Amino acid sequence: MTDPVPPAGVLSGHVLDLDAVVHLIEGKSMYGRAVVRQSSAHGVTLLVPALAVQVLSLGPIQPRLERFLRMSMVVTGALSPGDAVEGGPYAQEIMASLRRHRPSAADALLPDVLVAAHAAVHATRRGWRIITATPYLYEGLDVRLEILP
């Protein structure tokens, strides 16, 4: 699978996790809207993990997701076989964090865990931040976060 995103250092960007994608598509906060506007103005990439695209394609947000993905600075980050292997330990850590913070919901939030692990792989490789509305997922991971309100 070809990753359309240039490697680290070629351009700047941020990685969105599942809640962040929904947050930005729905324009839930003015700060989130400002982030999208400034990303376009500065030509800074917003990377949506491919798993997030798949998960959200199952729900009613899908038509709006398609429009969001048409913006010039929004790109989909592929999940290669290597990424899947690399994301395994992240997924384990994130699931452990989720069980600590929301034990009753942990299993139902498996898509969030997998997308967060995929986001961590992309963010770590490129040295980019993860934009998230659920920072507790990343407890214990060596990733930089930008937290949405």
Partner 1 sequence: MTKKITISLPDELADEAQASGNASAYIAAALRERRRIQGDLAIMADLWGPSWQDGISDDDSARAARLMTGGAKADAA
The answer to whether 49 and 77 are in contact (CB under 8 A) is yes
Site string for partner 1, 106-145 (x = CB under 8 A): -----------------------x-----xxxxxxx-xxx
**Minimum CB distance to partner 1, residue 11 (Å):** 12
The answer to whether 53 and 65 are in contact (CB under 8 A) is yes
Q: Out of 72, 81, 82, 104, which residue is the one contacting partner 1 (CB under 8 A)?
A: 72
Long-range contacts formed by 30-35: CB under 8 A, 24+ apart = 31/148, 31/149, 32/148, 32/149, 35/131, 35/146, 35/148
Among residues 111 and 135, whose Cβ is nearest to partner 1?
135
Q: Out of 6, 10, 42, 89, which residue is the one contacting partner 1 (CB under 8 A)?
A: 42
Q: Out of 4, 58, 70, 103, which residue is the one contacting partner 1 (CB under 8 A)?
A: 70
Does the footprint of partner 1 cover residue 58 (CB under 8 A)? no
Q: Out of 33, 99, 100, 101, which residue is the one contacting partner 1 (CB under 8 A)?
A: 33
**Minimum CB distance to partner 1, residue 96 (Å):** 13
The stretch among 32-40, 47-55, 80-88, 104-112 that binds partner 1 (CB under 8 A) is 32-40
The helix, strand and coil proportions of the chain, stated in percent and rounded to the nearest 5, come to 55, 15, 30
How many C-alpha atoms does 34 have within 13 Å on its Cβ side?
Answer: 5
Cβ neighbors of 43 (< 8 A, separation 6 or more) are 11, 72, 73
